[in-house]
Structure 1
């Protein structure tokens, strides 16, 4: 994180003092949590009791404590992002919100984020159907993903077939983390499109069995769900293909 203390350590600047208080070195912990100029922010956040009762070695220690206490980490993270963003706007002399506005602004943004999340029941929805061949002038790219929580790994698979059902190419990938079903399906879609581009496939039908991922890929709007970055990356690659199923 490019705080002033870190920039001094890298010999980029010479002054490590926090621009807000001019009393302490601007470390990540100070800039986002300890600075006395942030008292008004954290006092109305619901986390002031932690700030008053606990001291932390560094920012990592703070995050670990918030997680251990099962505090609303998402809202805390949004507030810290807003604090850092406001700090940068002030430094660059750009229009910025006041510190007094940060709490409500963060709550509004966090609620918007939660609203965009897909319920678990929808997340698990999958389309089950028999494989059908593509038109004669196209190939079909099938993608799928699976998770093994026991080994904390996920698997991605891609198969490309012609209109006769003959396998033209296939690939698989093991990811060293157990993602949820929608995440692993979105990753598989991205792998499928990347793999197809690498071997020169252009005109194709892309098919997957995750209803959530298929709907997100066909949506003209940018995805704001938790798999949004994966979906948006796949949609960028998808423009080279003609059909999605």
Structure 2
């Protein structure tokens, strides 16, 4: 046991160690339920509960108030992230508003057909915008990130139905984001394939957490490897749930 702990301490960062500790604790509770109550808990449920518990703990420790973008037209029903078909990558994007700091936080994450996280980014704009404008900014932010990394076949997905409709439906006019739409369409022409997809908020959790992180910290971060726990754990959960 000592050798195992030493090995984990030498190989894992603090975030992954936290996840391991919570998973081990849930395994111990699973063992007790089986021995004393005769209840069998599936291994997948153990991991999902541990991941959710740690995520909730991290959220509770974000003490700074912020305002997350809320779209009245975005579905709140339970859903799950769906991988792209082979040959495409999917980039999910979202935005959050921090009214007190006059900051728009934007987040995006790129995943392949196997659900593997290829890259993620969060950033800010030093201006307060309407929610729909913030979402349009995030859509452009995501396309620019994909283009910078050299991806040419993409599915761009967000939970703002207004923005997705404005981009894909020429009969749907949303003048307040007209200048963003022009930039988005110009950037989309840089790709060989650029498809658009609307999802429920539940299927956009990684991008939401990234946008929230940016709104809270005011910083821009880029990850192309060694993803932090809040990205890797939620992405892994998305992948597991999508395969159920």
Sort the TM-score into its range (normalised by shorter chain).
0.3 to 0.5
- TM-score calculated relative to the size of structure 1: 0.47
Instruction: Give the greater-gyration-radius structure (CA).
Output: 1
Structure in which a larger fraction of residues adopt strand: 2
